[in-house]
């Protein structure tokens, strides 16, 4: 008994072929064609700028004598002192972000992606205001403020990619989600150079430098946050969220507006019906398995997040998604990128840049090269694909780490005699950042945002992002200790783990470019490929009219990965029936 499954898969194969015929090529021209979506996503990515700015800004603040004088043993002037508390000043933000990420799924699903962004910005602003009082409050105020700020940026880093992926058509979805990483790198870029400038307020040494040197960079975060809050009020809701919450008329109008087409255009109708079919399928699945949670109340949504997260571990297909999302984020953080971003001035001092101003200048270059390197990913990610960029980027980063380790091992005690070696190591850090910028920066977030089915997307994205933040927290906490205790071994560790990341991507992660969010079910072999679920989907397709629209298109397959996975699943189910 596989006829129902074959028909259900054929409907999606036909839908995919028809949409790809109409939507044209991916790449820069697709962004021009969908410029309205591009502008909306670009504005939403101010949340990424806030995260990047906060991340980069604090690395420079940590190096300022005026700031260190208020932090006492939490940021000691002696580089040989215990570095554990210094790690807490940095890592506490990631701990807050991890908690914010866990709750962002519920917020995004219950009150919408749009209002979820507004809540996250409010929390972020409260955290920044707390940090601004650290002049009199000392390290405890910084710790508390960064924890609250972290909850805000963690939620933004989770909800914004969901929002972007759901307003974007498939041919530019990767590029728009990559905008999140471009926004982060832009925030890092401007923060590094603002730090470089404010470092001169009053002077650059202890006793001459004024507190404004570090207070100005902290308080400047409030301006883009306010702009995002006000502007987001006028942004559209996610069409997929509207359909899932029975606001279909509004969803259809917004979808047509986003695509720049009429409401009755074939492409709008096809995409709308696919979204509706997937939403109906998942609602009926929830009603069947969890009938007491079938009503979409806020309390049921809160309880459903735990049920949904639990369900991600209960089937082989969904667990594969969990592995892909969480392990990809593990390797993203253990490339060592945030070790560089959080402690760049300290790292450059260790590489022979003894002058604080010189180390901040070298740090500013990090921001420039990362931002520039991220631009190609935004333009070409949907043409090149996720796997090639991730694999090449990982090999490049790992190679840079090993070269830095060799240079440090040979010259750690003689930088003054070998200034060229110090600059060679600095250049390798810059090259490492370039490799991260075009690959693991944007691509890891794209994968986490796009692999989940509609009903689990908010929770699945939260789970994957929580892996990012928890590993981010660990890296931020242990990096000062590793740099102090094992020196060049730090770069060896990061290099070996990054090589492992390249292998994981190449051998275990499927290519997902140009698949619609709904068709991701087929490539991952989710429960939608089971016989009973295919029959349910086929029934829904007939009810809403999707089958009738596509009946003349046949079952030709335009995507070999989808075809291969579908045939494999049908063969397996056929053997089970026998």
DSSP 3-state helix, strand, coil percentages of the chain (rounded to 5)? 80, 0, 20
pTM, 2 dp:
0.78
Q: Are 48 and 378 in contact (CB under 8 A)?
A: no
In a 10 Å sphere around its CB, with 0-12 CB exposed, 13-18 middle and 19+ buried, how is residue 357 labelled?
middle
Q: What is the pLDDT of residue 425?
A: 87
Tokens 């979506």 appear where?
Answer: 37
Structure tokens at 545: 């009219």
Pick 566 or 152 by higher pLDDT: 152
Matching residue, tokens 């920066």: 441
Element (H, E) at 275: helix 266-289
Q: For position 563, what pLDDT does the model report?
A: 43
pLDDT (0 to 100) of residue 576: 44
Q: What is the pLDDT of residues 124-183, one digit of tens each?
A: 999 999 998 888 888 889 999 999 999 998 888 778 877 877 887 766 766 666 677 778
Range in 47-51, 192-196, 219-223, 359-363 the model is least confident about: 359-363
Look at residue 105 and tell me whether its pLDDT is greater than 70.
yes
Q: Annotate 46-68 with DSSP letters as a single string.
A: HHHHHHHHHHHHHHHHHT-HHHH
CB atoms inside a 10 Å sphere around CB 115: 16
Can you give the pLDDT at residue 556?
44
> Tell me: the pLDDT tens digits for 177-206?
667 777 888 888 898 889 989 998 988 888
Contact 121, 154 (CB under 8 A): no
Using an 8 Å Cβ cutoff, are 485 and 81 in contact?
no
Which of 5-14, 19-28, 44-53, 343-352 is least confident? 5-14
Q: What CA–CA distance (Å, rounded) separates 142 from 127?
A: 9
Express each pLDDT in 473-524 by its tens digit.
Answer: 999 889 888 888 888 899 999 999 999 999 999 998 888 877 765 567 777 7
For the residues 30-53, what does the mean pLDDT come to?
A: 76
What is d(CA 188, CA 248) in angstroms, rounded to the nearest whole number?
A: 39
Name the percent of the chain lying above pLDDT 90.
Answer: 24
Structure-model confidence comparison of residues 250 and 175, the more confident one: 250
Has residue 561 got a pLDDT over 60?
Answer: no
Most confident of 101-110, 450-459, 503-512: 503-512
In Å, what is the CA distance from 212 to each residue of 59, 90, 126, 132? 16, 20, 20, 10
pLDDT, position 400: 94
Which of the residue ranges 81-90, 374-383, 402-411 has the most confident prediction, judged by mean pLDDT? Answer: 402-411
Angle value at C-alpha 513, between 511 and 517, nearest 5 degrees:
105
Query: Whose CA is closest to 451, among 390, 524, 379, 380?
Result: 524
What pLDDT score does 530 carry? 41
**Residue 573 pLDDT level (bands cut at 50, 70, 90):** very low
Mean pLDDT is highest, among 22-26, 90-94, 280-284, for 90-94
Mean pLDDT over 232-256 rounds to 91
């Amino acid at each position: 008994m596989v006829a129902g499954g074959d028909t259900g898969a054929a409907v999606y194969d036909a839908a995919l072929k028809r949409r790809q015929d109409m939507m044209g090529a991916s790449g820069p021209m697709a962004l021009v064609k969908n410029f309205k979506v591009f502008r909306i996503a670009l504005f939403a990515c101010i949340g990424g700028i806030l995260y990047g700015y906060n991340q980069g800004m604090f690395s420079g603040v940590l190096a300022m004598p005026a700031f260190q004088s208020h932090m006492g043993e939490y940021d000691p002037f002696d580089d040989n002192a215990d570095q554990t508390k210094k790690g807490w000043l940095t890592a506490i933000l990631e701990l807050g972000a991890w908690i914010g990420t866990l709750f962002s799924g519920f917020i995004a699903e219950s009150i919408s992606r749009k209002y979820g962004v507004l809540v996250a910005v409010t929390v972020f602003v409260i955290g920044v205001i707390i940090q601004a009082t650290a002049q009199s409050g000392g390290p405890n105020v910084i710790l508390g403020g960064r924890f609250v700020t972290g909850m805000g940026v963690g939620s933004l880093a989770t909800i914004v990619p969901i929002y972007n992926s759901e307003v974007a058509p498939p041919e530019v979805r990767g590029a728009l989600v990559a905008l999140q990483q471009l926004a982060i790198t832009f925030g890092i870029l401007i923060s590094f150079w603002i730090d470089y400038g404010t470092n001169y307020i009053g002077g650059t040494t202890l006793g001459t430098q004024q507190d404004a040197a570090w207070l100005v960079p902290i308080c400047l975060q409030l301006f883009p946050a306010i702009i995002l809050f006000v502007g987001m009020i006028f942004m559209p809701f996610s069409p997929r969220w509207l359909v899932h919450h029975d606001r279909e008329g509004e969803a259809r109008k917004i979808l047509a507006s986003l695509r720049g087409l009429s409401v009755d255009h074939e492409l709008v109708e096809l995409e709308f019906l696919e979204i509706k079919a997937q939403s109906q399928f998942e609602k009926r699945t929830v009603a069947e398995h969890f009938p007491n949670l079938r009503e979409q109340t806020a309390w049921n949504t809160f309880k459903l997040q735990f049920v949904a997260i639990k369900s991600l571990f209960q089937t082989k297909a969904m667990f594969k998604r969990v592995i892909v999302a969480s392990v990809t984020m593990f390797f993203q953080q253990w490339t060592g990128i945030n070790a560089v971003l959080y402690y760049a001035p300290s790292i450059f001092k260790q590489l022979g840049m003894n002058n604080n101003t010189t180390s901040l200048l070298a740090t500013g270059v990090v921001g420039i090269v990362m931002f520039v390197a991220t631009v190609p990913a935004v333009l070409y990610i949907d043409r090149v694909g996720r796997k090639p960029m991730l694999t090449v980027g990982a090999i490049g980063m790992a190679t840079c780490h090993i070269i830095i380790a060799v240079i440090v091992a040979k010259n750690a005690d003689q930088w003054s005699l070998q200034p060229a070696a110090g600059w060679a190591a600095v250049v390798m850090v810059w090259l490492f950042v370039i490799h991260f910028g075009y690959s693991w920066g944007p691509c890891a977030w794209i994968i986490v945002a796009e692999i989940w089915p509609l009903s689990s997307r908010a929770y699945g994205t939260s789970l994957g992002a929580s892996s990012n933040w928890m590993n981010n927290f660990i890296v931020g906490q242990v990096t000062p200790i590793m740099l102090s205790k094992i020196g060049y071994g730090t770069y060896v560790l990061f290099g070996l783990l990054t090589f492992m990341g390249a292998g994981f991507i190449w051998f275990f992660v499927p290519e997902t470019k140009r698949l619609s969010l709904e068709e991701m079910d087929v490539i991952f072999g989710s429960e939608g490929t089971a016989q009973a679920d295919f029959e349910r989907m086929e029934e829904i397709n007939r009810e809403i009219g999707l089958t009738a629209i596509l009946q003349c298109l046949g079952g030709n397959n335009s995507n070999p990965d989808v075809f291969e996975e579908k045939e494999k699943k049908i063969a397996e189910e056929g053997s089970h029936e026998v």
